[in-house]
Every structure is written in structure tokens, then in C-alpha cells.
Structure 1
Amino acid sequence: MGKDKHLFCAECGGENPLHAKFCRVCGHRLNTQTDSSTPALTTTSAHMEAVTPQSLQINILLKQRYRIVEQIGSGGYGKVYRAIDTEFMDRQVAVKEMIQHGLSPQELAEAADGFKREAVLLATLTQSNLPSIYDYFSEHGNWYLVMSYIEGETLESYVRHRGGSLPVDKVIQIGIQLATVLSFLHTRRPSIIFRDLKPSNIMRTPEGQIYLIDFGIARHFKQGKAKDTIALGSPGYAAPEQYGRAQTTPQADVYSLGIVLYQLITGIDPSISPFGPKHLDLPNHPQLKILIQCMLELDPKRRPSSMGNIQRELQRIAAGKVVKASQHGNRQPPAQHSSPVRAAHPLRPFSSGPKRAQLPQQPLQRNAARVEQARLLHPASSFAPQLVSTPPIAEVVPVAWGRMLNFMRSMTGIWREKSY
């Protein structure tokens, strides 16, 4: 890794292979020439080490309060450390550092803005799948964010240690937690869009609790804005609308969650073919397959309408309130009644008959995908299909004829009485 070379886009900062001519993140043309007016975009890791400041020393005291214990992660514009809060019962905290060295004025402004935004966002949010914010400050030319320390590992590391994929039942539970916290963010006023959902930005504790981390590019959705100013997100996980074409909405997080679920099930890295076909083989979970396929629609309007819908659908699947594949895929139209229908007496109303036939509670296979997608596109209090059951014609006709003949008989009697 130390000898690899990369091209970094001057437009969005995205990392690209050395031979690339266009940024795989935003599509901006990459300039590989170096002159006095344009900084070189070819950077070796050795050069990065030369211009990047060293990690904070162990036992150094920040703000005369937070004692650094070890570095536990890095990414974006800085590093993350485990520290001890010496003024609050020596509790463990996570200290996120934003390094300002080596950034252009524009990059520095963007980084500082994103960092402050992250601090403000987290400070106003309280949810079980979000870390708590304790403090933020500037020291030695860098910004620092102090938050709750999460004992665990990233979802990326967790999956890698288990062969690259997870059992479907475990993926469903992870999806429920992610949909819950994203629904919480989307229903704030104004909405908060995470925009960079991927396994490396998700923490998992040994007990299975999921946390969203790294809000560096999350931002408030501003109604009426034509499009985002720059393309943000990670290749393979970002929705098509995040590539500078249109305003990013909560539907972008819907797409990213679908990609994460797809990767956890299949073990396929989505960055290899960002918008290529996504094939899922889930014979025992047909509803989950339909749900993920709807989430991965390139057109935002064809995706599930809300994270709340996705959360409830995943909970319904986890509870087993679905038809098994063998029942759902091989369902046949209801058979005709084997017992004969009793004929009505011509002068008496039909008093009793066979029980009312019920329509199947689940749609036929040829209509399943269409019904499921239509149901997910519109918020509903219940995900169960609302079908109306009507009696068969064999029951209705005898009753109608019997009542009509009985009425004619009574009218004939009245006419005869008047005749006398």
C-alpha cells in the first residue's frame, strides 16, 4: 500500500487510480500536469506522510482535560483517538481530529464547515444509534470533536473477519437498526441526510448495537435548491443524484442502505460496478429481494417513499409475516367448490348455503413484485395487502331468484284477494 499512487480530484477530492482521466466520483476531468498555477494531483503515500503531521503523542493532554490513549481510526480530514476525560470520572471518550495542514484555502473552508456542522448536528440529536457529543474546540491549529466512545469495530471490519458476507437474518437486524436511525434523521425539521452510508461509517458493538459515525458530509436539506454544490459520497454507495445532477433528498440514503444490505448479503463490493445490475438469489426471502430491488432503483421516485416504510417492512419480514417461497412461488388460483350448490325452492327464499369463499391473502407470483413496489412507494399504517372478498356467483344467483319468485308469489296473492 505504501508504494501505490493515486490521483485526487481537485473538484471533489475523490481518490482515483493513477491512469484515470476522469474522476470516478464526480466525473470532473483529472489534470495530471504539474505547473506553477495548478498543484500536482499525483500523490504517493510517501509524499502524504511527508506533508501530513504526525499523530498525537500518547498521554498528551488536549484542552488540559482529554488525555490521548491511542489512535483508533482515520479518514476524511483527520484521525480518531481514544482518550480519557480527566475531569469527568476518567470516562473513555473518542476524540476526532481535523487536520488543517496540506489543505488549500477552499478545502480548509469546506473541511472546517463540515466539522462544525457535524458538531452542531450531533449536539442536537439524541437517538440510541447515534454517538453523543460532549465537546468541540480548536487547539494547535486543528479542530477536535469529543464524543462517546463506542466499544466495537466498524461493520466493514466485522464483515471482513467473517468471510465478506453475513447470514440473511443478521443482515435484516442490521437493516432494521439502520432504517430506524435514518428515519429519525429524515423526520427532523429540517431533514438531515446522512449521504455517506457505508460499512466503514457504521460501528457495531459486541452486543450487536449499530451506530452511525462520521457525519462529516451530512447536511440539512434546503428546500428548493436546484442541486448540490459539489458531488459528495463514496463511489458504489452514493445514489446517482449525488453525482451533481440534482438535489440530494432522503431518497439518496434509501439507495445507500439498499447497497449496504446488498453487499452484506452477497459480499460483492459495489464500487466495482456502481450502477451495474444487482442480482440477488433469496429463494427463502422473496419479500426482502423485492424490497432491496426497489431501494436500488436509479429513479428516486421508484424507491420506497420513506425509511419508516423500509423499517416496518424489514420488521415484518423478520417476524415471519410473509409467505414462504414454496407457497408464494407455486401458488395456484383457488379451486372450484367440490360440493354441489343446493338449488333454491322456487317459492321459498334461499335460507342457507356454502360458506363464503375467501380470496387468497397474498398476490400471485406474476403480480408480487408490482404489488410490493406499489405498497412501498406510499406510506401506509399496515403493510398487509387490503383485499376485498366477494361471494361467488353460484351463491348469489339462487338467492336472487328465490327472493324474486317469493315476491311475485306474494303479489299474486294480494291480486287474488282484491279480485274477490
Structure 2
Amino acid sequence: MPRVHLQSGRQNSMKCPFCGTDNVPGESFCSNCGGYLDSSAPSSVSSGGTSNTATIVSTAPTTGGGLASSGSLIPNARLQNGRYVVEQVLGSGGMGTAVLAKDTRVSNKRVVIKELVSDSKDPVQFQEDVRNFEREVDTLANLDHPLIPTVTDSFQEGTRYFMVQEYAPGENLETHIDRLGKAMPEREVLTYAVQVLDILDYLGQQTPPIVHRDIKPANIIIGSKDKRAHLVDFGIARADAAKNAKKQTAALGTPGYAPPEQYQGKADARSDLYALTATMHHLLTNRDPRNYGPFSYPLARSVNPQVSPETEQLLTKALTIDPSKRFQSAAEMRQRIEQILRDRFNMTPDTSMYMFSTSGSMTMPAVSTTPAPATPPSPPIQNRGQQQGAQPTFPPPRVVPPPPQRRSGSGLGRGLAILVGVVVLILLVIFITPFLFKGNSANLSTSSPTALPVATQTAEVKSNGIGVQQINNELIGLSDGTVAFDTNRPDGNLKVQAAQKLKSGDSSTAQSLLHSALAQDTNDAEALIYLENQHVMNSGSPYVTLVIGATLTGQNKDVVQAGRDALQGAYVVQKEFNANNGAKLNGTLVRVLIANAGSSSTNVAQAARQIVQFSQTDKTLIGVMGWPYSGYAQNAIGVLSAAKIPMLSSTASSDDLTGASPYFFRVAPPDSVQGQVGAQYALNKLQAKNVAVFEDQSDAYSRSLADAFTQAYQKLNGNVMGPYQYTKGDQASVTSQLQNLANESTVPDVIYFSGYSGDVALLMNQVAANSKFANTKILGGDALYNLGGYGNSSSSAGFDRLRFTSFAYPDEWEVLGYGKQKPGFFGEYSAIFDPHQQHKGGYGFSRPSYNVMLGYDATLTLIKAAGNVVSAGKKTFSGDDIRQALLNINGGNAVQGVSGQVSLGQDGNPVDKEVVILYVDAHGLTHMENQSGVGKFLVNS
């Protein structure tokens, strides 16, 4: 729909511009028809005959080809022998003129009539326009969704074609945001997006699926009565049979909202998701994409800081140029938004909200610390887009029951059917209930564990520090098995039940449940650790306790995966040391606790405080292995160091951590080392004289690594171009900076990309497509290690340009010629996590990731340090004892890790740690260069 502006006129009443009804001053919507009442510019309504009219001026750009008005659809015009009487011209767009009319045969019910308008003089083109119009009629006539206006009639008068639809009174989102003059609150935008996604999910389930192809604010109307998002204007919708067709239909849509593939005639359901996301970006930032270059969307938080990081991440993903990297279905995207609404706004809509929600209604996950409220509570003030008391004039979204289903048959028949159903239900309860409860207590111990009800987890912290707090809907704290963190996986419910049983003292049932969990999910290290802990606690043997700092909750998949990897590496060590009754540790076993900090580094302090609290009551603690990220480790250091608790991180690499605390150590070398390795490789191996550096100054890792590379390369007398500043996750910024580089007279031999795999994939494609960079290579750090390879990143070439440094590689032993000396870790890993050999060669099952390898080495080093203290005959030990033992791990006492030797220096950094160079082949697969890195791999070499 085009923008509409009501001309100002008489000021003494609030007359509806649609139906002329007098309304109480101050009302926003008409009490009769529900039309929007602009209090700042009241309608000019004049009486004439039996009709009231209002002047409307169309100012918005239109969609599609040229426009021509037939001049026949004017107020008081009659169609179908007087059945339909036109009241109001709503506007023109695409190939149609829309009017508001009343149906005199159905109590003057208001309807929208759309007439085909074509300015084509070519008879062939006109017939094509007619076919498109008829296709829209056919498409809408076969749809039955409460948020899509239903077609009630269609007819032809001479050479004129008409379609009649239900009238959805309300305000479209384009008019609304223009009137509002600022960004809409995030909660409103997400709520409306969920409703539109429900429509798209429904359209995708049609045979064949239907693609709307023109989603934009103007085509989403918020109903004045139900306050829900209605999708209109299916004028260019198509049934998506393109997968089996040789060629798709011509590209249509609205610039600024339509995705790139639509201009190539390749639109599918993911194209609608892109357009909806562009609409969301517009509403959340008040930045109209039609006023800027195509496919350019700055990070939402850079325009509107009130937007949450979670929503910004969602927008970034869904606005990706490559459709394969977007959400692949409306159901998937809707599920993610619903999660944000739950986590950030504590909003749990009624599951009856979506009548066609066949892909899954909005339900709370199995792990819950509080019962879901009956109605969505107001979010905390700090999460709102507006200050308290500043209520929007636009009605906020609310949960409403769905409109009544269309039914046939008499009310008496339905009443009898309901009565019969109630009687049958009562009889079932009377006769079956005794059998359900007979011998129930016995069945609990003999039935399958999955038959147990799903237990909830209580947010509480005991005096010994064990327990969790709920922070932003994540369970943060310390668990000995009485809380399950990683529940968003196939065995999640069983782990929750096991934790509840263990908390009540029923270790036997807890172990049975954990075994059942592992039968479903063989590579779940959390379940394995809790199960092993029960062996330790029931053995009667002495033990030491190790805490793993992990990141197992939240929506960032990479962060959760890093936590899972850390646990896998730690569990293999725990299993090794507990074999043969702890023979490797003088008969002492290893118990592992998990400290979860979740999706935010700000949660680390809470988890660290609980570790300190635990250490005050349990003297078996030897230290903390973790956290995997520099920001997390930085926030934990102060708390743990004050209590003299040693911490050994596996992968935190920021230079800021060097010498940060006498109690902090790490296995991975700092960024300064891999920056130096990269600089030497660029100069000596790639023969680069000019290197362009790309970095994100706002990202600590990117900035640290870029600085390290730049300094090392300049010391080698290399020429550094830039740095070229891009923003992580913002593809447009990468494209823009690459264009700036292309405009330089000097052609770089190498682009040093200090960033992450998701962004470098785009860079590779664009570099390969630019002839100026025909011989340019791409180099970077360990964050470019994409475990899945780059084969699916794009259809473009250029993979074999990429090189990057890494701290570990699973085939490193063979590449270096040490295959016969390869430690048993690799065989143990596969046997533990892929016991049935169903995932041969798969990361996380039979092939360890580099994070797993470094987690293993960090855990191994910490336990060996504790073993040295125990071997010295100490029955009790302090944090200073473990710290000194870690400092003694060097030289001839270095630990042989699976990622190379581990030798620790006084500043906490590893000494002479192995760093390798990996490269990507033309198929997107990763390999290691032989003897390409630096460091000492074997302790005895």
C-alpha cells in the first residue's frame, strides 16, 4: 500500500476518514470500522448523498510498472449491479487500484475491491497483466489464514477485472513509522515479525510453496481490533515450483527490501525472510533502506543502541547475501525470535496465538527455573526501547485468542457432540485412572528413564558454592551434577531428570538416566563427566577436584560449541587418570565440576565467586581449567587470583593476559606469537612485499592480532597497507573496505584478515572476482579455522588463496612425520564419543577439534602439576603449591600434549609452543603445511 496522508480540515470532531463515524476526542482508532484516526490532522469529511468521503494524497513510491487510473472507482461508484458501493479510494500500486467499499447484500459490510490497472498498449503484455491478476486471485482464494485477508468474490465487467477481499482495518507499518518519527520498540517489532513468520510458514506448506516476493512495511497492516500483523498485496506472489523449472519468473519486488537473488529471477522462501528482515531493520532503526545503496544495512546497534545484541545477530544472519547462510525456513527464524522474546523480554505468548503453527508453537524449554506467567509480564525497564512512562501512541502488541474458525452445521449438533465428548471423557477418567496409579512406585524404578516426568531446575546456591543463579534466562554457576547446563541437545531432558535425582540423593537412578542420555547423544561430555563423578564419589578412594570453566548456554552456537569442546578434552583426561583406580595419580581419582558462565563474559564473576566459595569448604580443589575466551578469562582472573586459585586456559590468546596474574597460565600462545609466525610466513613463504591489513578495532581479538602482525611484519621491513577498518559481521563494511583497497595504486601481495571465518568467506569470494587481486593471497589467525571447511561458503572460487595460523591440528602428528609416536588420545577420543563408529571422520565424534585438543592439554597439565604435589607426599596443599608446580612445568619437566609440548613461563605464557600454518584447497578443505610453523612439538626432540 502507498503512504497516505489525510488533509487537515474541521477541528471540532474526530470523524473517521473511512466511514464518517463520530469518535470521542483522543481516540486512535474508529469505534465503528477500526480505521486509524490522526489526532494531529483530523479528517476533512463532507456529507454528500448517502456517502462520506475523505481526500487522500498518495506520495509513496509504487511497485512494479507504470500506473494508470481507470477513473471509474470513485466514491459512490457502484459495481456488480449496485451490490458494491465505493466509499474511499485507498490508493494505487503495482497493477491495481484499491478502494474501500460496502457490500449492500451483507449488512453493508466493508470490503476492499482491487481493480486491475494496466497502462500497457501491447495486447500481449496486457494479457500477461491479466494473467498475473488472475493468479493473485487464485492464490488468495485458496489461502485460509487468519492474518491473510480472504478473497470473497471476483468478477469481470467488460474488460475490467475486479477482486473482492475482506477488509483489515488498521495502520500499515510504513505509515506508522513515518508518523512515529523514530525507531519502534524492539519487543513490538519482534512480536509482529513472529506473526508474519507464521504466515510465511503457512505459505511454505502450500503445494507448491508460495513466495510473496514483496514484503515491506507498507504491506504489513496491524489490525486495529486484533493488534496483529496482517500480510497484504499478493500481486507478485508466485507458487515456488522453480526448483523443477528451467527458468524462474522475472524479478520483481521493492528496492531496499528485495534480496539480490530476486533481481536474478531466483526468489524462494528465503527471499521473503530477507525482505522481512530488511523490514525489521527499518522499523528498529528508522533507517529507510530505499534511501541508501542496495543490500547495505549497518549493524542495527550502531544506529539504535537500544537494539539487543541477540536481535542484531539475527538481523545480520538473515540479511546475508548468500541465501544458504540465512535462516533456511520461516519456522527456524521464528523459533529464534521466540527465544529472544523469552530470554530478553520474558514473553511467553499463548500457544493458541498461531492457528497455523504446524512447525511448533512457542513453548518453554524443558529446563525452567520459574513457572511461565499466565500473561506476558512487562520487561525490565532497561530492556525497553522507551523510558518508563513514555507509552507509545501505537497500541502495543498483545496476546489475543485467534478469530473463530469458519464452521458449518447447526449449534445444536455441535452442542450434542460436545456433551457426548464430555461423558466419554468422564468414563475414561473413572475406569482408567485406577490402573494408571496401581503399582506406580514400582514402575518408576523399572521403566525406561524417559518415562519419568521432565524435572525443573531450581535456581539456588548452597553454602558450599554448588548451585546456580538465573541470569537472563541462563543458569549460571557451579555444578557437581545436580544441575545440567547443556540441555539444548537430544539428551537434555534426561540430564535434567538425572540432575534432579542426584540432588535428591538417588544416585542409582541418576546414573541410569545418564546412561540413557548417552545412548541418545554419545558425544555429550557433560553427561559423561557427571557419570564419572558418581564413580569417583562411590569408590571410597581419595580424589582431587578440578573445575572446568565452560560456556554451555545461550544462543551463540560458536560459544556453546567452545564449551562443549572444553568438556570433551577434560573428560578424556579425567577418564585416563581414573583408569585402574587412579594409578597415574598414586591412587587418587579426579572429580570434575563445571562452572558455566553462559553467553556473556559478564557472568564469569558470578561463577568465579562460587568457585571461591566452594574452595573454602572443600580442600580438594586443585584449580580451574578455562575459560576458552580471553574476555571470560580476564573477568575471572581478579576473583580467582584474590583467593589464590590457579587457572589454566586452553585457548584465550589476547596479549592483555600476559602477566595478568601470578595464578593465571595458558596453553595457547599469545596473539603476539601467531602474529609473528604470520608475518614470517607472509615474507618468506608467500614472498609478500605489500600486505593490506583488515581489522575490527572494536573487537579485542581482531585488534590484538592485527597489531601483532603489523609490528612483526614492519620489523621484517615489509610494507603494511592500511589498516582497513571493517566491522565484524557487517558484510557491507568488508565490501566497502575491499573497494577502497582496489582503488589504491599498489596491489597487495597478501591481505592479512584479522577476524573470523564468517567474514573471510565473503572476502575470498570478492577477491577472486576482482581481476586486480588475481595474485593476492589471504592470511589470518586461528579464528579462521572453520571446522566444516569452506566448501559450502559460496559458489565462487578462491578458496585456495587462504592461509591461517593455528595452535593445533588433528593430523599434525602424521604431517610432521611422528605418526608412529601419536599418543593414545586420538583413539580414546573416537572410542569414547563415537562408540558405535557411526560418525567416522566427523568433528566432535571421531575427530577432535583444535579446541578439544587444547582443552585436553590444559587439563592434563593442571592435573600433572597436582600429581607432582601429591607425589611429593603432601596430604594437603594450597593454591600456591599448585602454582609453583605449574611453574616447574618447563624444560625437561615439560608436558607432552597432543598439540605439542607444554612448557610454562613465569609470565604464564607457554614457552616455544607449536604454531602451525593451515591452508584451504580449491574444494574448501583444510590442510596443514609441513614444517611451516614455529615452536617445539616433541618434548624430547
Structure 2 length normalisation: TM-score? 0.33
Q: Tell me what 1:288 maps to.
A: 311
Mean CA deviation greater in 229-238 or 259-268: 229-238
Change (3 A) 1:109 1:186: same
- State yes or no: 1:216 paired with 2:235: yes
Residue 270 (structure 1) aligned to one of 289, 296, 299? 289
Distance in 2 between residues matched to 1:52 and 1:60, nearest whole Å: 14
Query: Alpha-carbon deviation of 1:242?
Result: 1.1
Change (3 A) 1:242 1:394: closer
- State yes or no: 1:311 paired with 2:490: no
Distance in 2 between residues matched to 1:95 and 1:166, nearest whole Å: 31
Q: Tell me what 2:579 maps to.
A: 400
List aligned pairs for 1:153-302, cutoff 5 A.
Answer: 153-206=171-224, 207-222=226-241, 223-244=243-264, 246-271=265-290, 272-281=292-301, 285-302=308-325
Query: Alpha-carbon deviation of 1:74?
Result: 1.8
Change (3 A) 1:394 1:13: closer
Query: Alpha-carbon deviation of 1:115?
Result: 1.1
> Which one has a larger percent helix, Structure 1 or Structure 2?
2
Q: How many residues end up aligned between the 2 structures?
A: 337
Residue 553 (structure 2) aligned to one of 362, 370, 391? 362
Mean CA deviation greater in 107-116 or 167-176: 107-116
Q: 3-state SS of the aligned residue for 1:319?
A: helix
Distance in 2 between residues matched to 1:219 and 1:298, nearest whole Å: 22
Change (3 A) 1:389 1:117: same
Bigger Rg, structure 1 or 2: 2
Distance in 1 between residues matched to 2:287 and 2:572, nearest whole Å: 53
Distance in 2 between residues matched to 1:80 and 1:298, nearest whole Å: 34
Distance in 1 between residues matched to 2:107 and 2:69, nearest whole Å: 33
Mean CA deviation greater in 303-312 or 246-255: 246-255
Q: Tell me what 2:111 maps to.
A: 93
Give the aligned residue type for 1:360: T
Q: Tell me what 2:78 maps to.
A: 61
Mean CA deviation greater in 144-153 or 101-110: 101-110
Preserved CA contact (<8 Å) 1:295 1:303:
yes
Q: Tell me what 1:341 maps to.
A: none
Query: Alpha-carbon deviation of 1:113?
Result: 1.3
- State yes or no: 1:113 paired with 2:136: no
Query: Alpha-carbon deviation of 1:192?
Result: 0.2
Change (3 A) 1:397 1:137: same
Preserved CA contact (<8 Å) 1:94 1:146:
yes
Q: 3-state SS of the aligned residue for 2:137?
A: helix
**Residue by residue, what CA displacement relative to the aligned partner does 1:349-370 show, whole Å, maximum 9, x if unpaired?**
5277759868332379xxx475
Query: Alpha-carbon deviation of 1:230?
Result: 1.9
Q: 3-state SS of the aligned residue for 1:298?
A: coil
Aligned-residue RMSD, C-alpha? 4.0
- State yes or no: 1:81 paired with 2:99: yes
Distance in 1 between residues matched to 2:273 and 2:80, nearest whole Å: 39
**Residue by residue, what CA displacement relative to the aligned partner does 1:60-91 show, whole Å, maximum 9, x if unpaired?**
32112111111122211221111111112221
Relative contact order: is structure 1 or structure 2 higher (C-alpha 8 Å, sep ≥ 6)?
A: 1
**Residue by residue, what CA displacement relative to the aligned partner does 1:33-72 show, whole Å, maximum 9, x if unpaired?**
xxxxxxxxxxxxxxx7xx6432423223211211111112
Distance in 1 between residues matched to 2:84 and 2:175, nearest whole Å: 27
Specify every segment of 5 or more residues in structure 1 that has no aligned partner in the other structure, as ranges: 1-7, 16-47, 335-344, 375-384, 409-420
Query: Alpha-carbon deviation of 1:248?
Result: 1.7
Query: Alpha-carbon deviation of 1:267?
Result: 1.2
Q: 3-state SS of the aligned residue for 2:270?
A: helix
Distance in 2 between residues matched to 1:83 and 1:363, nearest whole Å: 51
Preserved CA contact (<8 Å) 2:198 2:331:
yes
Query: Alpha-carbon deviation of 1:264?
Result: 0.6
Change (3 A) 1:404 1:125: same
Preserved CA contact (<8 Å) 2:211 2:268:
yes
**Residue by residue, what CA displacement relative to the aligned partner does 1:91-115 show, whole Å, maximum 9, x if unpaired?**
1111111124554324322321121
Change (3 A) 1:229 1:219: closer
Mean CA deviation greater in 209-218 or 266-275: 266-275
Preserved CA contact (<8 Å) 1:361 1:387:
no
- State yes or no: 1:151 paired with 2:173: no
**Residue by residue, what CA displacement relative to the aligned partner does 1:156-212 show, whole Å, maximum 9, x if unpaired?**
101111114211111111111111111111121111000011111111122421111
Query: Alpha-carbon deviation of 1:313?
Result: 0.6
Change (3 A) 1:103 1:159: farther
**Residue by residue, what CA displacement relative to the aligned partner does 1:268-313 show, whole Å, maximum 9, x if unpaired?**
1112211224322157622211111111111111111111001111
Distance in 1 between residues matched to 2:333 and 2:566, nearest whole Å: 25
- State yes or no: 1:126 paired with 2:305: no
Distance in 2 between residues matched to 1:353 and 1:280, nearest whole Å: 48
Preserved CA contact (<8 Å) 2:552 2:559:
no
Change (3 A) 1:147 1:284: closer
Change (3 A) 1:169 1:402: same
Give the aligned residue type for 1:60: A
Query: Alpha-carbon deviation of 1:255?
Result: 1.1
Q: 3-state SS of the aligned residue for 1:243?
A: helix
Distance in 2 between residues matched to 1:204 and 1:187, nearest whole Å: 24
Change (3 A) 1:14 1:58: closer
Change (3 A) 1:393 1:306: closer
**Residue by residue, what CA displacement relative to the aligned partner does 1:302-360 show, whole Å, maximum 9, x if unpaired?**
111111001111111011169999x89xxx999xxxxxxxxxx9xx8527775986833
Distance in 1 between residues matched to 2:108 and 2:196, nearest whole Å: 31
Q: 3-state SS of the aligned residue for 2:244?
A: coil
Q: 3-state SS of the aligned residue for 2:97?
A: strand
Distance in 2 between residues matched to 1:73 and 1:217, nearest whole Å: 17
Give the aligned residue type for 1:362: T
Structure 1 length normalisation: TM-score? 0.69
Query: Alpha-carbon deviation of 1:216?
Result: 0.6
Distance in 2 between residues matched to 1:310 and 1:386, nearest whole Å: 24
Give the aligned residue type for 2:327: P
Query: Alpha-carbon deviation of 1:124?
Result: 0.9
Distance in 1 between residues matched to 2:546 and 2:559, nearest whole Å: 28
